[in-house]
Structure 1
Amino acid sequence: MTKAWVNNAISEINADYQRSADTHLIRLTLPAFPGVQIYLKDESTHPTGSLKHRLARSLFLYGLCNGWIKEGTTIIEASSGSTAVSEAYFARLLGLPFIAVMPACTAKRKIEQITFYGGRCHFVDQACEIYAASEKLAHELNGHYMDQFTYAERATDWRGNNNIADSIYRQMTHEPHPIPDYIVMSAGTSGSSATLGRYIRYQGHKTKLVVVDPENSVFIDYWQQRDCGLTSPVGSRIEGIGRPRCEPSFIPDVIDDMMRVPDGASVATMLWLEKLLGRKVGASTGTNMWGVLQLAEKMHREGQHGSIVTLLCDSGERYLETYYNPRWVEENIGSLHPWLDKLDTVCQ
């Protein structure tokens, strides 16, 4: 009976995948950088609205095939929001209970989406408390702790099979510069950066992987120092990316370069990008795009032509009470004027 249930669960997930088309690749036109094409892979078009839909699918398949998830298993995840939304979706698909362990400051819209898919939320005061709380719940309920921060880099087939990297390169085939000079990625679990970096090397591409990191995250410090004991006393203010500790899924040796992005720059670029696209995006997309603009400026200054690809991670509709609320931004991020002024100067 157990094997039959697992076989059916895998079929359900595969059927759901077949019902979903690939996400769009949007080309931006920025006159300030002639000869440099910029692309956004729009992961907000997944059924659960973010890049984490791919990760959740992979984590469920990984757990099922490893024998960790069975009929009736309660699924527990440590998540600041988007991964939990996507995992709640797949848990409902399989008829499994789901609990998201998250900081109390998580955006209200994400909490509403988790409960919409039948999940419930378990809140902790500090971001660093989510790991222990998730393990404790899994033990008490005889459930399965998904542990995205450990398994993200190994649950996805980085050699191909329509992962994020394979999809990007297939969609770039007919573009003026089909092999990107740079792919820019922010890191939360670091599963996507690991997949991108491995795939680039596996295929022998010239592309450089640049990972952008927000304030209060230790990823860039770990990449520079290789001290896995590094921690930050506070969490990232850019939801979904940046971590207060070195996560097991962060693979530093597949990254060509890293860039620290001020939180004010992330939020300002998010607002600037809204005007360019005509729709709202999340702050992590602002982090990605700020990194892209720095690289585009460098390429233009050096007379290089080519392409840069990054990700539109999720919709800004999830952050109306935070990043799109001027009062919240002033109190939690600070003035955006220096960054907005710079964006106006660079991208007129």
Structure 2
Amino acid sequence: MTGVVPAVDRSSETNRTWVCEAVRIIEADANRSADTHLIPFPLPPEWHVELYLKDESTHPTGSLKHRLARSLFLYALCNGWIVEGTPVIEASSGSTAVSEAYFARMLGLPFIAVMPRTTSAEKVELIEHQGGRCHFVDEPSQLYKESHRLAVELDGHFMDQFTHAERATDWRGNNNIAESIFSQMALEPHPEPEWVVVGAGTGGTSATIGRYVRYRQLRTRLAVVDPEHSVFFTAWRDDDPELTSCHGSRIEGIGRPRVEPSFIGEVIDRMIKVPDACSLAAIRAVAPVLGRRVGGSTGTNLWGAFQLVAQMRAAGRPGSIVTLLCDDGDRYAHTYFSDEWLAAQGLDLTAPCAVVESFLATGVWA
């Protein structure tokens, strides 16, 4: 179900003209935005393993979700689901909503983000800054039902990133994130990465990368990291796509209480479960190394990537690994980088911080 589009004549010249102009506006925005950078993470050269961060925080809306939002809007426009004046509704914990609000405002469309009440104040402010409105629910399990309800009530379109993420992006190329990574790696010492490490929220990014490496006959393997309270890891391990949980993820942007339709487990070579304390220890430990703060999902990525670096070193296997810098850590100043918030959540970072610091010093994973 995608919501009810207002009763208009889609075949009318006026409607077709508006849709053509909307697609042009979105494509022009992409044309103005240079590709995101691929940043080497400073590991000792004698390790003979290179680690790279694809810095998705440099998109106009500051996160990896900018790519997804662009694809979802184009998909909805070209499917005839969005026409002039259609309210757009999305179930989102933050970054997707920020990006979708940006594109909705660009097209002059109302936008409502349905999100958990626990979403960071910084992300709420970013959504509202882009002209969006936030609609809160108390339980993560209510997100989908409430989004559908609003779409029907407002004669709008529920964008439904969790269903459409893997099909809205052309996984064979066309400037998707996989094509961008491998193009930027072309002149590096090990241009074909041993691993690409990503998290799963919708599952769209992992599906795109996993399909792309097969399509291009590459030997790169895909590792997906999964935070605490998310069901993706257990469902993948046990081949149980119906698995659900009553908990939401504390690591915004990744982790889900159900296996989303866009999650394609068959393209994943390895999954790594990452406790939340480990994700947050990683972002605090690497902040001085990178000279900047990064968000919690990047910490989850790095926790997994560091383990793979250590395994390659232990096996005497040179090569490269690519992971994602998903968004900027300044969005989480009052949560992940707040000692008071950590204490309220009952999170102690002492032991996992020691693991990361030991790895950065020795290349050995404790």
Indicate whether the TM-score tops 0.5: yes
1:264/1:333 contact within 8 Å kept: no
Q: TM-score, normalised by structure 2?
A: 0.94
- Report the counterpart of residue 53 of structure 2 in structure 1: 40
1:170-319 aligned within 5 A:
170-319=183-332
Q: Distance in 2 between matches of 1:333 and 1:178?
A: 42
Shift of 1:228: 1.9
1:231/1:246 contact within 8 Å kept: yes
1:1-348 aligned within 5 A:
1-31=14-44, 34-348=47-361
- Report the counterpart of residue 9 of structure 2 in structure 1: none
SS in 2 for 1:121: strand
SS in 1 for 2:225: strand
Q: C-alpha deviations, 1:101-140, integer Å up to 9, x for none?
A: 0000001011001111111000000111110000000000
Q: Which amino acid aligns with 1:306?
A: G
SS in 2 for 1:77: strand
Q: Which amino acid aligns with 1:276?
A: V
Q: Which amino acid aligns with 1:229?
A: E
Q: Distance in 2 between matches of 1:233 and 1:72?
A: 36
Shift of 1:31: 2.1
Moved over 4 A (4+): none
Q: Which amino acid aligns with 1:321?
A: H
Q: CA RMSD in A?
A: 0.9
Q: Which amino acid aligns with 2:280?
A: V
Structure 2: any 5+ residue segments left out of the alignment?
Answer: 1-13, 362-366
Q: Distance in 1 between matches of 2:319 and 2:29?
A: 36
Q: Which amino acid aligns with 2:170?
A: D
Q: Count residues with an aligned counterpart.
A: 348
Identity %: 60
1:33/1:300 contact within 8 Å kept: no
Which range moves more in the overlay, 30-39 or 329-338? 30-39
Shift of 1:28: 1.3
Query: Compared with structure 1, are the counterparts of its residues 33 and 214 closer, same or farther at alpha carbon in structure 2 (3 Å cutoff)?
Result: farther
Q: Distance in 1 between matches of 2:80 and 2:312?
A: 49
Structure 1: any 5+ residue segments left out of the alignment?
Answer: none
SS in 2 for 1:180: coil
Q: Distance in 2 between matches of 1:279 and 1:29?
A: 14
Q: Distance in 1 between matches of 2:167 and 2:25?
A: 22
Q: Distance in 2 between matches of 1:5 and 1:273?
A: 46
